Chain A
């Protein structure tokens, strides 16, 4: 079946622009995660949704970052007034259920470059 998809795959934004990154999780997956991966580093957690509820946003680096999942499926990560330090790959992952023994399935990521 279809995996996690993300769009766009690549995004170039001028500093100060707003961007919106989309994630389509695997159908029926309850949990959805966003991670940020800087060049040469491992992914770092941003935020977590259980269905439509955002239960953990402790990893969002600033109030310029906002995520939503209004109907419990598709999620959007929005970054306002982008800065150069926001340049990274943004990964979305979903898992079937809650609990920490469920495998997370990752999308291909969106590579954001802020110029």
Chain B
């Protein structure tokens, strides 16, 4: 079963614009991660935010986490055509190891 739900399901923007994707989840978490998947490079880890963190940055990526609303957002600034991919949020269980529960993903298309 899917834990997270990404919103929107699909997003189409022009190069240079910002892209924002949202994720909602259902149960308590230790951390939330964002992954990118495209046909060229498969599924790649982007960023991890822990449940006691509210915001995290990595290059052009900014992730926020609101545990009271059980939601997270991923912002990609100054998007590039190479950012075209599906983006998934994934939550880790409260356990000694992390089996990830993924959402259905947001498909992002960045046009030149």
Q: Which residues of A line the B interface, CB within 8 A?
A: 31, 33, 35, 40-45, 48, 50, 55-56, 59, 91, 93, 95, 98-109
**Sample of 4 further A-B pairs with CB below 8 A, known A35-B102, A91-B43, A104-B100:** A42-B90, A48-B97, A99-B97, A100-B96
Residue of B nearest to A105 (CB): B45
Q: How far is the CA of A56 from the CA of B45 in the complex (A)?
A: 22
Determine the chain B residues whose CB is within 8 A of the CB of A103 once the complex forms. 33, 45, 48
A56-B99 contact, Cβ under 8 Å, with A43-B43, A44-B2, A100-B92? yes
Determine the chain A residues whose CB is within 8 A of the CB of B62 once the complex forms. none
Residue of A nearest to B86 (CB): A42
- Tell me, rounded to whole Å, the shortest Cβ–Cβ distance linking B7 to chain A: 14
Q: Is the CB of A55 within 8 A of B102?
A: no
Show 30 residue pairs from A and B whose CB-CB distance is below 8 angstroms, ordered by the A residue: A35-B102, A41-B2, A41-B104, A42-B2, A42-B4, A42-B88, A42-B104, A43-B88, A48-B97, A50-B97, A55-B97, A56-B97, A56-B99, A91-B42, A91-B43, A98-B96, A100-B30, A100-B31, A100-B96, A100-B97, A101-B31, A101-B50, A103-B45, A103-B48, A104-B45, A105-B45, A106-B42, A106-B44, A107-B42, A109-B43
Determine the chain B residues whose CB is within 8 A of the CB of A101 once the complex forms. 30-31, 48, 50, 98
Q: Is the CB of B97 within 8 A of A108?
A: no
- Tell me, rounded to whole Å, the shortest Cβ–Cβ distance linking B1 to chain A: 8
Q: Is the CB of A106 within 8 A of B2?
A: no
Interface of B is mostly: strand
0/1 per residue, B24-56, Cβ < 8 Å to A?
A: 000000110100000000111100101000000
Residue of B nearest to A97 (CB): B97
Q: Is the CB of B104 within 8 A of A102?
A: no
Q: How far is the CA of A93 from the CA of B97 in the complex (A)?
A: 13
Asked if B93 is at the interface of the complex by the 8 Å CB criterion, the answer is yes
Question: Which 3 A-B residue pairings sit nearest by Cβ, starting from the closest?
Answer: A42-B102, A100-B98, A106-B43
Q: Is the CB of B2 within 8 A of A100?
A: no
Which chain B residues numbered 1 to 16 have a C-beta less than 8 Å away from chain A?
1-2, 4
